[in-house]
Amino acid sequence: MDTELLAKLAAPSDTKIVLSVVDGLGGLPDPRTHRSELETANMPHLDRLVTESVCGLTIPVDYGVTPGSGPGHMALFGYDPLHHEVGRGVLEALGIDFDLQRSDVAARGNFCTLDAKGKITDRRAGRIPTTLTAELCQQLSQIELPGVKLLVEPVREHRFILVLRGEGLEEGLAQTDPEREGVEPLLVQPTSEKSKTTADFVNQFVKQARDVLSGQAQANGVLLRGFAKYPDLPSMPEVTKMRAGAFAVYPMYRGLAKLAGMTVSPGGGTQESQLEALKSRWDDFDFFFYHFKAADAAAEDGDFRAKVLALEEYDKLIPKLRELGADVLMVAGDHSTPSQFAAHSWHPVPFLLHSKLGTVDRVEQFTEAACLTGALGTFPARHALSLAMANAGRLMKYGG
Amino acid sequence: MDTELLAKLAAPSDTKIVLSVVDGLGGLPDPRTHRSELETANMPHLDRLVTESVCGLTIPVDYGVTPGSGPGHMALFGYDPLHHEVGRGVLEALGIDFDLQRSDVAARGNFCTLDAKGKITDRRAGRIPTTLTAELCQQLSQIELPGVKLLVEPVREHRFILVLRGEGLEEGLAQTDPEREGVEPLLVQPTSEKSKTTADFVNQFVKQARDVLSGQAQANGVLLRGFAKYPDLPSMPEVTKMRAGAFAVYPMYRGLAKLAGMTVSPGGGTQESQLEALKSRWDDFDFFFYHFKAADAAAEDGDFRAKVLALEEYDKLIPKLRELGADVLMVAGDHSTPSQFAAHSWHPVPFLLHSKLGTVDRVEQFTEAACLTGALGTFPARHALSLAMANAGRLMKYGG
């Protein structure tokens, strides 16, 4: 259901919905055992929950599309991720808990190595340590341009963000990274007339950055890409008439929830402490987003065993999630991350919806293969929210 | 398939298609027996038919969307119900067999109770009996306004329809029902400049209605909503190149068929007599819509047992439906109506397609759970018509 229809059908109610996202939930069978991470893990609580739920598989974005964290979460928050894009610069800023303003333009930056002629010899500046990057960002932050404020913050290794703050800034800018070595960085080109002033600011920054960094051996240049402003999303709480709270250890996921208009609880701590925080705010919200990271982190490292252990850790949280007594509890993934790929993938993601209505299907295990036979079938992830709202008695009838 | 593509691919043929709609077909398991209405009913003829058919589940409108009768039927007639909305006023008019003209604007009305200050004390006027409503409608029909004809017809209890007939009338009007008591009814506001004249007519009617009703204790005011004109739908017979006939006991379903451009057989009588009527017109049409009401009526009353009995009654009609010898016979539902909800629901609806081509799947029971494993999968209801046409040899190849 698109957000316009959702806004039309959403009705206030006292019911509560919990969306528990297991990052990188889906996987693929280990070629030796023919069993996926979910099929290998010992998950007694999920095994029990699944028999009292309806299941399916979600397609985060589209057939064959491997989603980043942004679109994967946006879909579960009810947005069509193809129509509501979150720019790279913005995602990078969210990832370091940067307090991005609506009028800011953010870009993702790399330190790079330039030769005497200004040609790129290493697009990643030998992956300089984060500590050096932090120091250099400090220096670049001193650059002053009339009419705009420049903020430069380290991310990790050679990566940083550049944020331009001021009035009338526009995101329509092409990248300066030529994506190959042996050539000079590109000048920023505005993609439309109205971003011309912003392009001038960026080009002046890049030029002055070269001066500031001239004493550096490796990191004597910068490459910029993913210029983006805060996306103009319809507010999920307004659309759904639900007060929504987000509970996540890592900044990226709190940031995505903030983009959707959710109230974001302080981050950090452990999965357990975030779940405690959620519980303590039970009366304050109707919708709760709870993020679990470790499964994706293990799978991104290509560590099948670690992902299995992470899933088993998640399983231990299930009794606490159930104790909350939500009208609807969803266990979902933002995308699959098969350990063999050591990367995100396009594969449909197991999904479970437990409702006080008590509807069940015949799925008995929370695995990729079993969820395929679930009553919900294989469906676009962006419909999970409307299914949950229907089950929570929060949607009116359509048509007379 | 959208109507544009359908129109492009549809080819004339001698084949015949029967769409048998069981209103409110789908249900949910009884918590005590764990069996749904369809799983409980004894339906030997459907059991037989299903083994000679292919099955699936239809999604009437969208995930989580509970459809009214309008969108539920429109989808089975091949329309995307999100793009072809049927206004409330029109539906209400169809429901009482009112002969709505293309230029009419129809609204749904409530008699209400107003206090001495004109504030609403009961939005439903104590649910006055239909006989009194009929009498009051008779009185309101005497109201004369220059430039427009006013028609007021009773529906049931406190409900009636107001139809404005004339030239240049527009449907863009906000409701006068404030949806709460203790305040005055709203004046009709035009939602665009061009519906200003129509708004004036309605406000004059409401004012005069107050005078006419001034002697009434309970029903001394009116509330209006759902202003709508006859929707501008592509004609289903033209799009599909099929002469289409509709056979239904109740006016609402004949009305919906009429909106789609079908030829509507006289209503009333019994399910059997409507089926006889269909049989007698076998040579006159290529497509036959046959509506069966009792399952929905029982489920809307929350009566599980009555729905089971209704389904068993329907089962007895199956041999007669099969005797017709259609090239394609579909058994479908416009939406689910679980008896436990005593209301329509969003759940996918069992669907069966029997074709002279003889293709079958492994489904052996016409139930929600069994249809989930059918060859047709879970699919939008608006594709049922194109599947039927394909099976009836009525669709050309797409592309060279």
| Dihedral sign (CA B44, B45, B50, B55) | negative
In terms of Cβ atoms closer than 10 Å to its own Cβ (0-12, 13-18, 19+), residue B20 is buried
| Spatial distance between the Cα atoms of A72 and A59, rounded to a whole number of angstroms | 9
* pLDDT exceeds cutoff 80 at B400: no
* Contact between B65 and A395 using a beta-carbon 8 Å cutoff: yes
* B64 contact residues in A (CB cutoff 8 A): 1, 383, 386-391, 395
> Domains in chain B and their CATH numbers?
3-85+234-391 (3.40.720.10), 91-229 (3.30.70)
* pLDDT exceeds cutoff 90 at B210: yes
* Contact between A5 and B66 using a beta-carbon 8 Å cutoff: no
Contact with chain A for residue B73, Cβ under 8 A:
no
Contact with chain B for residue A389, Cβ under 8 A:
yes
Chain A contact probe: residue of B55, B59, B63 with most A CBs at under 10 A: B63
**CA A323 → CA A53, A327, B9, distances in Å?**
15, 11, 55
* Contact between B71 and A379 using a beta-carbon 8 Å cutoff: no
pLDDT of residue A400: 67
* Contact between A400 and B67 using a beta-carbon 8 Å cutoff: no
| Spatial distance between the Cα atoms of A118 and A116, rounded to a whole number of angstroms | 5
CB A359 within 8 A of CB A55: no
| Dihedral sign (CA A384, A387, A388, A389) | positive
Mark which residues 353-372 of B lie under 8 Å from A by CB: 368-369, 372
* pLDDT exceeds cutoff 70 at B311: yes
* pLDDT exceeds cutoff 80 at B88: yes
Minimal Cα distance from B93: which residue of A?
A: A400
- DSSP secondary structure of B22-81: ETTBB----TTT---HHHHS--HHHHHHHHTSEEEEEESSSTT--B-HHHHHHHHTT--T
In terms of Cβ atoms closer than 10 Å to its own Cβ (0-12, 13-18, 19+), residue B399 is exposed
Give me the helices (H) in A265-349, please.
Answer: 271-280, 294-300, 304-323
- If pLDDT is split at 50, 70 and 90, which confidence band does B144 have? very high
* B32 contact residues in A (CB cutoff 8 A): none
| Spatial distance between the Cα atoms of A208 and A145, rounded to a whole number of angstroms | 10
| Dihedral sign (CA A294, A299, A302, A305) | positive
* Contact between A398 and B31 using a beta-carbon 8 Å cutoff: no
DSSP secondary structure code for residue B2 in this structure: -
Least Cα separation, residue B68 to chain A (angstroms)? 5
Chain B contact probe: residue of A3, A371, A397 with most B CBs at under 10 A: A397
- If pLDDT is split at 50, 70 and 90, which confidence band does B124 have? very high
* Contact between B66 and A361 using a beta-carbon 8 Å cutoff: no
* pLDDT exceeds cutoff 70 at B64: yes
Q: If residue A95 lies in a helix (H) or strand (E), which one and from where to where?
A: helix A88-95
| Spatial distance between the Cα atoms of B304 and B309, rounded to a whole number of angstroms | 9
Contact with chain A for residue B208, Cβ under 8 A:
no
Q: Is B97 left (phi over 0), alpha (psi -120 to 50) or beta?
A: left
Provide the token pair at A217: 């051996």
3-state secondary structure of B99: coil
Least Cα separation, residue A7 to chain B (angstroms)? 12
Least Cα separation, residue B185 to chain A (angstroms)? 22
| Spatial distance between the Cα atoms of A296 and A343, rounded to a whole number of angstroms | 9
CB B75 within 8 A of CB B381: yes
CB B299 within 8 A of CB B337: yes
- DSSP secondary structure of A131-168: HHHHHHHHHHTT--BTTBEEEEEEEETTEEEEEEESSS
Residue B336 main-chain phi, psi, to 5 deg:
-90, 150
Contact with chain A for residue B91, Cβ under 8 A:
yes
Of A79, A106, A21, nearest in space to A259 by CA: A79
Provide the token pair at A83: 């129509």
| Spatial distance between the Cα atoms of A335 and A333, rounded to a whole number of angstroms | 5
* Contact between A1 and B377 using a beta-carbon 8 Å cutoff: no
Identify which of B64, B72, B377 has the shortest CB distance to residue A386. Answer: B64
Identify which of B31, B92, B369 has the shortest CB distance to residue A362. Answer: B369
CA A60 to chain centre: 12
Minimal Cα distance from A396: which residue of B?
A: B66
DSSP secondary structure code for residue A236 in this structure: H
* Contact between A399 and B62 using a beta-carbon 8 Å cutoff: no
CB B160 within 8 A of CB B128: no
Mark which residues 316-345 of B lie under 8 Å from A by CB: 343-345
* pLDDT exceeds cutoff 90 at B55: yes
Minimal Cα distance from B341: which residue of A?
A: A357
Identify which of A360, A395, A399 has the shortest CB distance to residue B71. Answer: A399
pLDDT of residue B267: 87
Largest distance between two CA atoms of chain A: 74
Contact with chain B for residue A146, Cβ under 8 A:
no
Q: Are strands B105-114 and B120-122 parallel, antiparallel or unpaired?
A: antiparallel
3-state secondary structure of B225: strand
The torsion defined by the Cα of A26, B62, B337 and B268, in degrees rounded to 10, comes to -150
* Contact between B369 and A386 using a beta-carbon 8 Å cutoff: no
Least Cα separation, residue A106 to chain B (angstroms)? 36
Minimal Cα distance from A358: which residue of B?
A: B31
* Contact between B82 and A5 using a beta-carbon 8 Å cutoff: yes
Residue A200 main-chain phi, psi, to 5 deg:
-60, -45
CB B372 within 8 A of CB B57: yes
**What's the rounded mean pLDDT across residues B365-374?**
97
pLDDT tens by residue, A297-308 = 999 999 999 999
DSSP secondary structure code for residue B185 in this structure: P
* A389 contact residues in B (CB cutoff 8 A): 64
DSSP secondary structure code for residue B10 in this structure: B
* Contact between A399 and B92 using a beta-carbon 8 Å cutoff: no
* Contact between A383 and B92 using a beta-carbon 8 Å cutoff: no
| Spatial distance between the Cα atoms of A331 and B273, rounded to a whole number of angstroms | 51
* Contact between B69 and A398 using a beta-carbon 8 Å cutoff: no
| Spatial distance between the Cα atoms of A188 and A175, rounded to a whole number of angstroms | 6
Under-50 pLDDT residues of chain A: none
Contact with chain B for residue A55, Cβ under 8 A:
no
Minimal Cα distance from A4: which residue of B?
A: B82
* Contact between A399 and B85 using a beta-carbon 8 Å cutoff: yes
**What's the rounded mean pLDDT across residues B154-158?**
92
Provide the token pair at A254: 């709190």
| Spatial distance between the Cα atoms of A48 and A2, rounded to a whole number of angstroms | 33
* A359 contact residues in B (CB cutoff 8 A): 28-29, 347
| Spatial distance between the Cα atoms of A347 and B249, rounded to a whole number of angstroms | 48
* pLDDT exceeds cutoff 70 at B324: yes
| Spatial distance between the Cα atoms of A254 and A260, rounded to a whole number of angstroms | 10
**CA B223 → CA A337, A368, B177, B378, distances in Å?**
56, 53, 5, 41
Residue B313 main-chain phi, psi, to 5 deg:
-65, -45
| Dihedral sign (CA B118, B88, A383, A50) | positive
Contact with chain B for residue A38, Cβ under 8 A:
no
Residue A259 main-chain phi, psi, to 5 deg:
-55, -35
| Spatial distance between the Cα atoms of B371 and B365, rounded to a whole number of angstroms | 8
| Spatial distance between the Cα atoms of B243 and B394, rounded to a whole number of angstroms | 13
DSSP secondary structure code for residue B233 in this structure: P
pLDDT tens by residue, A26-82 = 999 999 999 999 999 999 999 999 999 999 999 999 999 999 999 999 999 999 999
* Contact between A395 and B69 using a beta-carbon 8 Å cutoff: no
Identify which of A373, A386, A397 has the shortest CB distance to residue B63. Answer: A386
pLDDT tens by residue, A149-184 = 999 999 989 999 999 999 999 999 999 999 999 999
| Spatial distance between the Cα atoms of A38 and B333, rounded to a whole number of angstroms | 37
Least Cα separation, residue A398 to chain B (angstroms)? 5
| Spatial distance between the Cα atoms of A389 and B387, rounded to a whole number of angstroms | 31
Residue B181 main-chain phi, psi, to 5 deg:
-100, 170
Contact with chain A for residue B302, Cβ under 8 A:
no
Counted residue by residue, chain A has a size of: 400
Of B75, B98, B96, nearest in space to B289 by CA: B75
| Spatial distance between the Cα atoms of B87 and B102, rounded to a whole number of angstroms | 13
Contact with chain B for residue A207, Cβ under 8 A:
no
| Dihedral sign (CA A75, A78, A80, A83) | negative
| Spatial distance between the Cα atoms of A271 and A290, rounded to a whole number of angstroms | 9
The number of C-beta contacts closer than 8 angstroms across A and B is 81
* A388 contact residues in B (CB cutoff 8 A): 64
Neighbours of B4 (CB within 10 A): 10
| Spatial distance between the Cα atoms of A72 and A259, rounded to a whole number of angstroms | 14
* pLDDT exceeds cutoff 70 at B148: yes
Q: N- to C-terminal Cα distance for chain A?
A: 18
Minimal Cα distance from A380: which residue of B?
A: B63
| Spatial distance between the Cα atoms of A263 and A257, rounded to a whole number of angstroms | 8
* Contact between A390 and B64 using a beta-carbon 8 Å cutoff: yes
Contact with chain B for residue A373, Cβ under 8 A:
yes
pLDDT tens by residue, B260-278 = 999 999 988 999 999 999 9
- DSSP secondary structure of A288-308: EEEEE-HHHHHHHTT-HHHHH
* Contact between B69 and A400 using a beta-carbon 8 Å cutoff: yes
